[in-house]
Structure 1
Amino acid sequence: MQSLKKIELMAGLRAQIAALETPPSQEEEGRFQLGLDAVDRRLPGGGLARRGVHEVRAASYGDMGAAIGFAAALATRATFAGGMPSGKDRLIAWCQQSWGAYDMGALYGPGLAGFGIDPSRLLLVNPAREPDMLWALEECVRAGVFAAVVGEVPATSRHFNLRASRRLHLAAEDASTPLILMRGFGELTSPSAALTRWCVSAVSTVEEGSLHAIDRPGWQVDLEKCKGGRPFLSALAWDACAGSFVSSVSEKQRGGDNQPAISSSLPPSEKISVYGT
């Protein structure tokens, strides 16, 4: 009898160990992909974690518009499930302090639609004070009804410190809701609990000699911080029809290679340019 109990106990332990050793799928891990394989492969688990904070900053004041567009594109990708648009949980919350609209302008519905965000599915929150902004962000995240929450918290904020960052990260972790923080422009000196930090600058995606005067949104992105991964540089663009990131480097510019140009974000002496690795 004791022998039978031992056998059952061992079988149960083996099953538990097997479950721990089996790698979870991306959906089980709660990750969303950017849609560009060469970039997704560089991210831990093949995508960005839904349960946490991701920071976006502009390389300069002139790149602020591009950084906002990049944040909008990330929010759109967060509404995807299994690589396809999800019919539910497509609601997005965007928190912007009232002064932000006077500086960079208010969010524009048709422009957001170009990034795949339905203005009718967007909740705008305009706190008057910084403490109210942090409270609103936490409440939106904890609500658990949004595919993503975007908040504008400048680098000069006196109220956003490591403690506040950690609090927001824990809220996002508990609710499995990605929080995308716009951190303004310039260097960020204060520590944060963010899982990733992207430095964004605008680039043109119009090919030399092209007759097209209007190009699709394009960015040079520097993944400065990546928990569990390595920083890298990449040139990206937004494909509005596919609702996905694509390479902003044309096949002609790549010499026939069908992968985007990506390089490790390392000191010049250690940097090696690669394609799609």
Structure 2
Amino acid sequence: MAGHSKWKNIQRRKNAQDAKRGKIFMKHAKDIYIAAKQGGGDPDMNPGLRLAVDKAKSDNMPNDNIDRAIKKATGDLDGANFEELTYEGYGPGGTAVMVEVLTDNKNRTASELRHAFSKNGGNLGENGCVAFMFDRKGYIVIDQDKTDADEDTMMLEVIEAGAEEMETTEGAYEIYTDPEDYQDVKGALEESGFTLETAEITMIPQTLSAVDESAGNKMIKLVNMLEDMEDVQEVHHNMDAEDEIMAQL
């Protein structure tokens, strides 16, 4: 039993690491796609794309994944026409889930998503069924250990940069912006010398939905299954659970 328990612990850590790496790659793929869509697929002529590619490579994203993201954006991938879509549904315990996808086959993607939801105690819903529970925001995180600024100083910097709100959590300053102001706020904070641990435009839940351990574990399986799908770019949800469960997400 001791050996079995040890193997399970190792496997659990490996699965969490794989899921984290997959999520990082998906984020880079989305950044690369958007940059190439807006400014073209040549990094030498598109500074935004060059920056996105450099960041992806710094996280050891394979070149094939990078090339695929660029080709999706420029329409050079087997002549496919890709669309950005958002699907909505309910996860285990009544949690709200939003899934951003990039697909060349809506029927295939919808079928795969429906299967993932139903297999893990949820169901795919209609457009608009949970979108009203989320706000689209710029989201920036600064590690308190990586700055000399105290809370008052940080608040002044954030206000000057044009952000909407700042929350001080354990070990971090969490900053929220209007999506249209995100780039300006991000640039102002970087120019002031702050290291940004996280910087993205994302969906922030207005309220959290508490679930028990059983529903929380099913939710982990659902999120992992969704993130493993090639078409899925981002998964948002409003689950609240015990710290041990949330850490796995």
| TM-score calculated relative to the size of structure 1 | 0.26
Q: Which has the larger radius of gyration?
A: 1
More helix by share: 2
| TM-score calculated relative to the size of structure 2 | 0.28
